Amino acid sequence: MGKAYGFFEIPSVTAAVVAIDIMCKTAEVQLVTWEKKLGGRLVTIIIRGDVSAVKQAIEAAAANGIKEPVCKVVIPSPHEEILKIVNDSANRVS
């Protein structure tokens, strides 16, 4: 079975770092990349792992972070076109 991907959008880089810390400490997930927009005032975090781990990590960050997320979603077994977009983003960050 493929990996699930979680997308978590939150205002501010500091809140994003805290959310990533919560996610990685809560469940067996891996940070894939993050996208900073509007000068870092809006950050999209992308994680991956098993469906249940990604859901648990996303919910923990939403409940315990320092800011409310703008939006969040878990995509189980995303289409290959989604994976291309995520990989392109990760390659730009590296």
Kindly list the domain boundaries of the chain, sorted by start residue. 4-93
Distance CA 6, CA 54 (A): 6
Cβ 51 vs Cβ 76: under 8 Å: yes
Do 17 and 33 form a contact (C-beta atoms < 8 A)? Answer: no
The mean of the pLDDT values for the chain is 93
Check whether 37 has a pLDDT greater than 90.
no
Phi, psi of 70, deg, nearest 5: -75, -45
* pLDDT > 70 fraction of the chain, expressed in percent and rounded: 96
Write down the CATH superfamily of domain 4-93: BMC (bacterial microcompartment) domain (3.30.70.1710)
In terms of DSSP bridges, do strands 29-37 and 42-49 run parallel, antiparallel, or are they unpaired? antiparallel
Backbone dihedral angles phi then psi of residue 50, each to the nearest 5 degrees: -65, 155
**pTM exceeds 0.85 for this model:** yes
pLDDT band with cut points at 50, 70 and 90 for residue 62: very high
